A = this chain, B = another copy of it.
Amino acid sequence: MDTRETSGPGTVAPDLGPATALRCRECGARCALGPRFACPECFGPLEVDYTFTKVTRASIEAGPSNIWRYRQLLPVPDGVTATRNTEPGWTRLVRADNLARELGMRELWIKDDSGNPTHSFKDRVVAVALAAARELGFTVLACPSTGNLANAVAAAAARAGIRSVVLIPADLEQPKIVCTAVYGGLLLAVRGTYDDINRLATEIADDEDWAFVNVNVRPYYAEGSKTLGYEIAEQLGWQLPEQVVVPVASGSQLTKVDKAFGELGDLGLVDPRPYRVFGAQATGCAPVATAFKDGRDAIRPVRPATIAKSLAIGNPADGPYVLDVCRRTGGGVEDVSDDEIRDAITLLGRTEGIFAETAGGVTLASLRKLLDEGRLDPAARTVIINSGDGLKTLDAVSSVVGPTAEIPATLEGFRSALPS
């Protein structure tokens, strides 16, 4: 069944590559590709359905050094490589032997997404949202955000030569405003809580023909996180890891990494061996970890209070699906304190020379806790995701790092400061 139809604000049927329809994750109903995020039958969340053509390792390897090497697996037209975009992805997978030694592990890898154009994994999802939004006829890219997403949307729109509209809280810190304002576009400081801003964004999305990346084009946007999973497997020499630890905000990234691993197995691109998926949250915003530990299926919303602001979603949309994935694969969901997050950031810095955002600290601290509890196998090949850059969350660690000593500008002063 080809369910494509004329949809979106444009009048031309969208070319979204291998994507064939949207499918409800709850009731399974299918509907046409378009700017929709809720099932017309049951209001459940919609996900992209595909009919993949023959994809080979060689065809992927011959592609560009960015996420578009996987364009045959994404809801984007084949010609996406010729469009102006930020070309994110193909970030480093770093073998972390120093860190593994400290943790007593055999083989640990860090997928370091701080190397993306605006230094977080959001460049991946925004690039896919932009490509789909163009096909759906949109000419404005929008989002509500307090950080990484705002940076990524404003930069991607600037590069594409289209307009961006970004809604931020009016009381956001000045450095975070500068990072987004520098890309131009409409930047609106909204007086209200982040919940107020999200509500306003949904109202505007109903009112204007704009692509709100995480609202009306969310099903396409979310698919961008699959590329993290594809890259991990390809960079491991077309093998799945045995264990992966993924930070959980909305929970979308974790479910899409799992989806990617599954697709690679189904397509014969990797040997479909079992793997275990672990989620990582901050204790100050741990609705999914709490549900996992309590053995519940329902997520009880919380009011976030943590230094890991990029993970501070109190009512995560994909929480139930995270529980499904972690339970099905024999993984788990852990949460860690702000002090454990800070410790993990400095541990990663001094062992591997990687400066992670707080979200990366959450992931490493959760890995450590899972090891201590004996729930993660130290001998199994393990990958953790660092989804952002420490330069964006300097305040989080400024209280715990600093100069070793202060000295006068003399050789004597210097010698007295050397550890004996």
Decide yes or no whether A15 CB sits under 8 A from chain B.
Answer: no
CB-based contact A182/B403 at 8 Å: no
Chain B residue nearest in CB terms to A350: B184
Interface residues of A in 175-211 (CB under 8 A from B): 175, 177-179, 181-192, 196-197, 199-200, 203-204, 207
Are A409 and B192 closer than 8 Å at their CB atoms? yes
A158/B188 contact (C-beta < 8 A), A117-B115, A178-B401 known = no
A411 to B196, CA, bound (A): 11
Asked if B170 and A406 sit within 8 Å, CB to CB, the answer is yes
Minimum CB distance partner of A349 in chain B:
B182
Stoichiometry, as copies per complex, reads: 2
B residues in contact with A168, CB < 8 Å: 403
CB distance from A101 to the nearest CB of B (A): 9
Complex Cα spacing A394 to B405, Å: 27
Chain B residues within 8 Å of A350, by CB: 158, 182-185
Residue of B nearest to A156 (CB): B353
Mask: chain A, 384-411; 1 = CB below 8 Å from B; 0 = not: 0000011110100110011111111111
Q: Does A263 touch B at the CB level, under 8 Å?
A: no
- Establish whether residues A394 and B190, one from each chain, have CB atoms under 8 Å apart when the complex forms: no
Of residues 134 through 154 on chain A, the ones whose CB sits less than 8 Å from some CB of chain B are 154
Further pairs besides A155-B354, A170-B403, A391-B391: 15, Cβ < 8 Å: A117-B353, A168-B403, A175-B398, A178-B401, A183-B350, A184-B346, A186-B404, A188-B406, A191-B408, A196-B409, A197-B409, A199-B409, A200-B414, A389-B391, A391-B392
